[in-house]
């Protein structure tokens, strides 16, 4: 299992950063290698990605979501096995720290080598930097989904 954690400070309010991150279908605009994301329902998405020239498809399920705080997900079925969480930390009225933690299982020689030499970390860093550029250029979110999803077995006070 490989774990990557990257953060970026974006110059938009936490609500704007969070709202935009819930618009998964916009991810191809700022994530290299993401060909498409199709929202299936409130908690499931279908992804098509290009990993080192190999096209892969997989579904994800949101396992926890709390507006302006965090979104956690895991892959379900498909060829790629991963899970992650993105958190949103308010730094000021118009600045937010976005942190992405991704746990994934590299498969085959190329992915294991890429993980060993930090290609995955550089890609996640480029993706969060791409998000920063995307949302700061827009200055506002393109949509929002502000539903609450509690982690399995968790109860919020």
For residue 4, pLDDT over 70 is answered with: yes
Q: Among residues 131, 133, 116, which one has the least CA distance to residue 4? A: 116
Q: Is residue 99 part of a domain?
A: yes
Check residue 118 and give its pLDDT: 47
Average pLDDT, the chain: 86
CATH number of 131's domain: 3.30.530.20
Check residue 154 and give its pLDDT: 66
Please report, rounded to a whole number, the percentage of residues in the chain having pLDDT higher than 70.
Answer: 83
Q: Among residues 43, 66, 75, which one has the least CA distance to residue 155? A: 66
Q: Is residue 42 part of a domain?
A: no
Kindly state the average pLDDT of the residues 148-156. Answer: 76
DSSP code string of 21-43: HT-GGGGGGTSTTEEEEEE-SSS
Q: Is residue 94 part of a domain?
A: yes
Q: Is residue 153 part of a domain?
A: no
Please report, rounded to a whole number, the percentage of residues in the chain having pLDDT higher than 90.
Answer: 59
Domain count along the chain: 1
Give the span between the Cα atoms of 129 and 8, in whole angstroms: 7
Q: Is residue 97 part of a domain?
A: yes
Q: Is residue 13 part of a domain?
A: yes
Check residue 108 and give its pLDDT: 56
DSSP code string of 57-79: EEEEEEEEEETTTEEEEEEESSS
Q: Which has more pLDDT, 58 or 104?
A: 58
* 116-148 residue pLDDT tens: 444 566 778 999 999 999 999 999 999 988 889
Domain that holds residue 113: 2-24+62-138
Q: Is residue 144 part of a domain?
A: no
Check residue 53 and give its pLDDT: 76
Q: Is residue 74 part of a domain?
A: yes
């Amino acid at each position: 299992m490989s774990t990557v954690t990257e953060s970026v400070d974006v110059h938009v309010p936490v609500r704007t950063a969070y709202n935009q991150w819930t618009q998964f279908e916009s991810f191809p605009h700022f994530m290299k290698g993401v060909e498409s994301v199709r929202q299936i329902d409130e908690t499931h998405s279908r992804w098509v990605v290009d990993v080192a020239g190999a096209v892969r498809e997989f579904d994800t399920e949101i396992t926890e979501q709390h507006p302006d705080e965090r979104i956690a997900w895991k892959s379900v079925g498909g060829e790629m096995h991963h899970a992650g969480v993105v958190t949103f930390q308010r730094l000021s009225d118009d600045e937010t720290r976005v942190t992405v933690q991704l746990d994934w299982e590299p498969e085959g020689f190329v992915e294991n080598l890429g993980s060993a030499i930090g290609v995955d970390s550089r890609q996640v860093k480029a993706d969060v930097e791409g998000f920063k550029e995307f949302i700061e250029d827009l200055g506002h979110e393109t949509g929002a989904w502000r539903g609450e999803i509690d982690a399995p077995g968790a109860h919020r006070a």
